[in-house]
Structure 1
């Protein structure tokens, strides 16, 4: 169980960190996505910071399990909101959001199970 816990948590953290870097370096993709969804571009760095915080929180969960669980919950909510924003504008480009959501849910589930909170 420990190997699954570590693997899923690290994979979710790496995926989220890559997305955070994309948002924080000013890449064009997050900006065009924000425009499509009607989100102000000023929010893009803030959303990147949320992703970065979630990624670091997942890793911090190895030392403080509650923090890891809270980070996973935050990421699940973030990606549910991202998918809802796509659906709101009738965008069908939700596969990426679903992949990120599944990894965040996976991290939450293995964290809860490993620490006996499920």
Structure 2
């Protein structure tokens, strides 16, 4: 179980770090997706900060403070539930797999961290 926790959480950290970088760079796909789900572009830096905090919390959980990792994973689960809900509310289904995949990684990290 420990190996699975390490691998899944590392993947979750890297995935979130990657999307934070895209958010900070204001990548075209980020801006386009945000507009499609009716999210003001002024929110993107704040949402990037939340994802970055989640990734950092997961990292700190990996290196020894597991309760922080559990809290970070919980925060990311809630964040991505909101992202999926935003896609559903806006009826943007063609790319819902992306927030769904991030949600799945966050859930897996939470389950493994809490075990």
Alignment correspondent of 2:107 = 105
Shift of residue 53 of structure 1?
0.8
Shift of residue 70 of structure 1?
0.6
- In structure 2, C-alpha distance between the alignment counterparts of 1:34 and 1:95, rounded to whole Å: 15
Shift of residue 44 of structure 1?
0.6
Deviations 1:74-97 (A, max 9, x none): 100111000000000111121111
Aligned length: 113
Q: Give unpaired runs (5+ residues) of structure 2.
A: none
RMSD over aligned Cα atoms: 0.9
Shift of residue 64 of structure 1?
1.0
Q: TM-score, normalised by structure 2?
A: 0.94
- In structure 2, C-alpha distance between the alignment counterparts of 1:26 and 1:97, rounded to whole Å: 17
Deviations 1:33-67 (A, max 9, x none): 11111111100111111111111110111221111
Determine if contact 1:79/1:97 at 8 Å carries over to the other structure: yes
Alignment correspondent of 1:116 = none
Q: Give unpaired runs (5+ residues) of structure 1.
A: 114-118
Alignment correspondent of 2:97 = 95
Shift of residue 103 of structure 1?
0.5
Alignment correspondent of 1:74 = 75
1:40-51 matches, within 5 Å, as 40-51=40-51
